[in-house]
Every structure is written in C-alpha cells, then in structure tokens.
Chains A and B, each alone.
Chain A
Amino acid sequence: MTAASLVGARKTLSIMPTFTCTAACADCGTLSSPRVRERISLDVILSAITQAHRLGFANVVFTGGEATLRWRDLLAGLSHARALGLPTRLVTNAHWAATPERARDRLRLLRDAGLDEINYSTGDEHVRFVPVERVVNASVEAVRLGLPVVVMVELRRERAVTAATIREHPLVRALGADAALVRTHESAWMPLDPDETADYPAGSTADAATLPARRGCDHVLQTYTVQADGRVGVCCGLGLRTIPELNTATADGGDFLDRAVTAGEEDFLKLWLHYFGPERVLAWAAEKDPSIDWEGRYAHPCQACGRLYKDERVRTVIREHYAEMVAIVLQSAWLDDHYTPRMLAD
C-alpha cells in the first residue's frame, strides 16, 4: 500500500511521454494522433518514477500516445524503473514491428533496458494505420524472447479484426503450444462523448439487469497518469483529457505524485467511483432524477464516467444527495481494503 493512502490497492504509475501517435483512430480515448505534439521531458519521466518508488507504487506503465516515438527516453525510463526494482509494462500499437527481425531487435532492446511485459492495441481502427501483421510479428517475437504479452482488440458489433484474427494467424499458430502465450482480450471501443451510443454486441452495455456484474473503477485512485501535457490524472487515462476534475496536479517539483494522491483522495466522489463504479453512481442518480437515462448506453465504464461528470442533471443530483452515500462508501472501503482480506486470510 502507498504510504498514508485511503485506498488500499497498490498503485500504478502510468506515463504518457507523448500524445503523438502513428495512428489517428476515431474515438481515441486519449485524443492522440500524429497531429498532436505535447510531450514531457525526460527529467519529468525519471522524476515520476523516482517518486513512485519512494511512495511504494507497484509498477510503471508506459503508454500514450505512442510511447515508442520517444525511443531513447523510453529506454531511459525503463532502465531507471528497473534500477529501482519497479516492474514495467509498455502499451504500444506495434508500428515498429514491420518484419519479424525488426520486431525482435526492438523487443530485445526494450527487454534489456528493463521491460517486463508488453501490451499491443489493435482492431478495426488501429489497422487503418498499423497493419495487423505488425501486431502478429511483435507478439510472436515477444513470446520467443520470453516477454509476457497481451493483445487488446477493439470490440464493436461489426468488425473485421477480432481476437481470433491474432490467435489463428499462421505465425501465431506456428508457435505450437506457446501460441497460448499470446493472450488476447477484446474490449468495447467507446466514443468519449457520453451522448453517443456505439453499436456493441448484445449484452455489452450496462443496465439494471447487468449492474450486479459491474465492478467499481479499478483505476481511479489506483493509477496515476503523468500525461504529455504535464497534468497528473488520478486514473488510467481514458477520457482524462476531457474531465478536468480527474486531473489533480501538474508535473512540477519533486512531489507531484504525492500531491496528486492527496488531492485525489480529498474528493469523496472519486472514492465512490473507486468502490462502486460510474454505472452504479449513474443508476443511483437516476433514482433521484428519472430523466437521467443511462441503461443500454455504456459498454465501457469510462464513457459512463464521462456522462457523470458532463451531464448537469447528474452533477446536480450528486451535489445535492451524495451525503447519504458516505457511510456506505466508507464501510465498503474498509471492507475491501482491511476487513475482508484479513477475515479470508485467517
């Protein structure tokens, strides 16, 4: 646990060295594209890692934007994290893996610098800019180098690229038993605009019937993201750029992570989101104001979170009635982080 933290989960430092990306996917959750140019300095990257180590964070993730566009700074960050004993992950679109040889060379450099695991992003939007073969090359070579790999595939009702596209690719199948090491997951590809409803497979969106299966937000107050514009957010990063309240510090001085944690945990709403998730908060708000229609709209909690922060009706209900939820949320915090682990470990 991070020192003097209300939230028990070990924390993750996420670093977006740049918002620039080789892809310009529609509905990118971080508003990244080749046209945007924000970037943080290597000094800020290294300082963030040092602070994360000092605060007892669990791991460091490099994402973006396309973090590999800051190649030398990425390697420097990985080396610094390894020197401090922090596990690392890279989230990338694999644009750099044009051939198996090229993929192997890049992955070897990343691994030797300090990379512990790698994630690739692909799907119908990504392949408009990065051929899926590059994700396959990068996945196969990661397995051969012993680097744990996960491929995240965009999920919409109609799509050409699926998880099976990766798993059943001849180069992946040629790995034999090791093909299972190319882990694939599919996740709703969401618009950031809470008023838009994307076309998802049946059963994907939250409603009263599926609400019991929804979790709290595992990222808010667990992941702290140093973004390419110098703001520090209190969640994983999807939608962060469009929700000012989720940015609690700026990356200046030597204590910005501590300031971000402290300011984040001062806000009861973020605790509520952590332990109950945005869909439950929306459902609660709709009890007070039935004009708040939320069912069947959101497959991804980050879009539901955007709704909560951007819809004045929801904001009004939260301001006027949140007090009734304080005891339940704090009791839940105590249960999740203290009582339940202790009772089940005995």
Chain B
Amino acid sequence: MPAPLVLNSITRADLIALFARLAADPAREARFLDDPAAVLAAELGWDRAQRTSTGNARFVAALRSPGRRADLRTADVPEATTVHSVTTGSTSRISSSTGITATFSTRGVDCGDGPRIDPAGLRLGAR
C-alpha cells in the first residue's frame, strides 16, 4: 500500500496567517503579487526553487491597469464546457454528484448589477 499522496510541508495555519498579513498590508500584498516566491521565503522560510508564472504576471498587470480592468469586467469567460453538440443544440457541462444550481451560484463574485465575475476563469484565460 503506497503512502498517501498528501503534501503538508507548509501548514494551513501559516498560510492563513500569511493571508491575514497580506490583507492588512497593501505594500506586502503588492510584493506578493510581484514576487510570491520572495515573500514565501521571507515570511515562511519556504526558500525552495520556484517557478514563476508569466500568465499570472500578465493578469496582475491587467488588474493594475484601469482600462484593462474595464475590459476584464466584461470579458466573456467560458463556463466549464467541454463541447457543444450541434446535433442536440446542448452545451455540455462538467457534472458532479451534487448537480448544478438553477437558482444561485457559489462560484464567481457579484459585481454590482453586472454579470458575476469569475476570477479563476479570467486568471486561467490569461495563461
């Protein structure tokens, strides 16, 4: 029986504390968005070699630009679709044993009177 595949070298408590510090300190948050590896090394002692994400960097730059933020608010983010069936006229969705909501969503964020924004869809779309 193989050992369980669980990666717990960084503790949840440390991450919650880090996120609380980011929430309370805009300068620290800005450093984290510019260079997350450096912040993890400085604050958690997590100094192992890290990849960087050009997609995240592009996305952060877009969020910092007022004009591009406006574009992001109206961006068309595809739902969790896999294929559109011409024969049935139905768009397929990723099913789950908990089904699909017909009335409200736990995903995305309300944005005034506009459509719900989908941060994860926008971020992954920037990759």
Known: A315-B2, A327-B37. A12 touches B87 (CB 8 A): no
In the assembled complex, which residues on chain A have CB atoms less than 8 Å from the CB atom of B88?
162-164, 186
Task: Tell me if A4 is interfacial: C-beta within 8 Å of chain B.
Answer: yes
Partner of B111, one of A16, A265, A266, A344: A344
Q: Which residues of B contact A187 (CB under 8 A)?
A: 82, 92-95
Q: Are B97 and A63 in contact (CB under 8 A)?
A: yes
Known: A9-B106, A344-B73. A300 touches B95 (CB 8 A): yes
A185–B95 Cα gap in the complex (Å)?
A: 9
> Interface code B60-101, partner A: CB below 8 Å = 1, 0 otherwise?
100110000100110000101111010111111111111111
Docked-complex contact B98 and A236, CB < 8 angstroms: yes
Number of interface residues of B (CB under 8 A): 74
Residues on the A chain within 8 Å of B63, using CB: 335, 339-340, 343-344
A335 to B127, CA, bound (A): 14
Instruction: Provide the A107-148 mask, 1 if CB < 8 A to any CB of B, else 0.
Output: 000000000110101000000000000000000000000001
With A262-B12, A327-B51, A335-B59 known as contacts, the answer to whether A219 contacts B98 (CB < 8 A) is yes
Nearest neighbor of B22 in chain A, beta-carbon distance: A334
A257 at the interface (CB under 8 A from B): no
Report B's interface with A, CB cutoff 8 A. 2, 4-12, 15-16, 19, 22-23, 29, 32-33, 36-37, 40, 46, 48-53, 56, 59-60, 63-64, 69, 72-73, 78, 80-83, 85, 87-104, 106-107, 109, 111-112, 117, 119-125, 127
Contact B119 A335 (CB under 8 A): yes
Q: Which residue of A lies closest to B30 (CB)?
A: A339
| Contact yes or no, B123 A340, CB < 8 A | yes
Selected from B9, B15, B82, the residue in CB contact (under 8 A) with A330 is B15
- Chain A residue numbers with a CB within 8 Å of B103 are 87, 116-117, 148
Q: Does A48 contact B (CB under 8 A)?
A: no
B121 with A215: CB separation less than 8 A:
yes
How far is A153 from B81 in the complex, measured between Cα atoms in Å?
A: 14
Q: How far is the CB of A271 from chain B (nearest CB, A)?
A: 9
- Distance in Å from the Cβ of B99 to the closest Cβ of chain A? 3
A84 interface hit (Cβ, 8 Å): no
- A interface secondary structure, majority: mixed
User: Interface readout for A81-125 with B: 1 if CB under 8 Å, 0 if not?
Assistant: 000000101010000000000000000000000001101010000
> If the complex has contacts A267-B8, A323-B48, A326-B40, are A219 and B96 also in contact, measured as CB distance less than 8 A?
yes
User: How many chain A residues touch the partner (CB < 8 A)?
Assistant: 96
Contact A336 B56 (CB under 8 A): no
Residue from B49, B90, B122, B125 in contact with A162 in the complex, judged by beta carbons closer than 8 Å: B90
User: Which of A89, A116, A212 is B98 in contact with, Cβ under 8 Å?
Assistant: A89
Q: Known A186-B85, A204-B83, A345-B112; judge A87-B23 contact (CB<8 A).
A: no
Is B19's CB under 8 angstroms from A6's CB?
Answer: yes
A-B contact pairs, 14 of them (CB 8 A): A10-B106, A12-B106, A63-B97, A117-B103, A119-B99, A148-B102, A163-B90, A200-B83, A212-B127, A237-B97, A300-B94, A331-B53, A336-B119, A338-B19
Q: Mark A308-332, 1 if CB is under 8 A from B, else 0.
A: 0100100100110011111110111
User: A343 CA to B12 CA in the complex, in Å?
Assistant: 26
Quick one: closest B residue to A346, CB to CB?
B69
B62 smallest CB distance to A (angstroms): 9
Determine whether A238 belongs to the interface, using a CB cutoff of 8 Å to chain B.
yes
Tell me, in angstroms, the Cα distance from A185 to B120 when the chains sit together.
22
Least distance between A176 CB and chain B CB atoms (Å): 19
Contact across chains for B4 and A245 when beta carbons are under 8 A apart: yes
B84 to chain A, nearest CB (A): 8
Report the Cα distance A346→B123, complex, angstroms. Answer: 18
